[in-house]
Every structure is written in C-alpha cells, then in structure tokens.
Amino acid sequence: MDLQIIKISKAKKDVLSHLMQFYFYDFSEYKGPDVLESGLYGSYSYFDDYWMDEAHRFPFFIMTDGKYAGFALVRYIEPANQFPYYSIAEFFIMKKYRRQGLGRVAATTLFDGHRGCHWEVSQDEKNVPSQLFWNRVIHEYTGGSFTDRQENGRRIQEFLN
C-alpha cells in the first residue's frame, strides 16, 4: 500500500468538496441533514476557513497508489486557559479502502507530523464504528497512554505524542 498525505491546495478545493458528499452520506446513518433539493448534502460550514486560516487549519488528501482514498481536516486550537492542541476535525476513508490499515497509517502519519504536541480526537456518540477505530488507533499509537471521556454527545480521546 502506497500511502500519501498531501496538503490540499486551493486549486483542489472542488475535489475535497466532492469527496465530502460521500462523507456526509456516511454520516447520514448517525445524524446530519438530508439531501437538499439539488440532490446534494450541501457544504461543510468551515470549508473556506481551511484556506483563509492556514496557521490553524490544515486540509489533507489521503491517497493510495495515486488515487483519492479520503481526506483529513486538522485544526490547531489555542484555548485561553489550556494547552494548545491539534485536533482531527474531520477524517474520512472511502469504503473501498477501509479495513486495509489505510486509516490507521494515515492517522499515525498525521500524528507523527506534530511530535511533542497535544492531540484531541472526537467522535459523535452515535458513531460507534468511528469510536472503535479511534480508540484502537490511539491506544496502539500511545501504548495506552491517553484519556478517553464523554462530553456533550461526543467521545473524546486526548494524548501527548
């Protein structure tokens, strides 16, 4: 498996927008809007922010063998009374590439890109497959050295890598 994590340029925004339709479709099983009259799910609320706030938002394609396999949206958050941390805002692997280790490798590659930093990863409480995936990946990555909590309808894992 040849994995690449590629920062998404402004020129490729439309590709990300199209891939997000599959992501919204997957999420529709747990929550989220119905398709609009156009037959699409609409757009991601913070989509353009990823190219306007390049110090705090990082969009990446996840590719394998030169083909789009998914995407990751990463944020750098600087709360007032807390350590700054990186967060996986959105993470998507197309069904064709799931259960092959691609998601795990992509996630750990993203984590490795910010060594010595705090991380937070959260999932919707209804999305049990996502919770199982992230708990397994983060447990393996940190050797079990992370916190896991429920808060405001989200399951959240935090760790320092």
pLDDT tens-digit readout, 21-49:
999 999 888 877 788 899 889 888 899 99
Residue 6 has pLDDT above 90, yes or no: yes
CB atoms under 10 Å from CB of 106, counted, come to 27
CATH level 3 topology of 3-160: Aminopeptidase (3.40.630)
Q: Where are the domains of the chain?
A: 3-160
Q: What is the pLDDT of residue 69?
A: 97
d(CA 99, CA 133): 10
The pLDDT assigned to 81 comes to 86
pLDDT digits (tens, 9 = 90+) for 83-100: 999 999 999 999 999 999
50-80 pLDDT, tens digit per residue, is 999 999 999 999 999 999 999 999 999 999 9
Give residue 118's pLDDT: 96
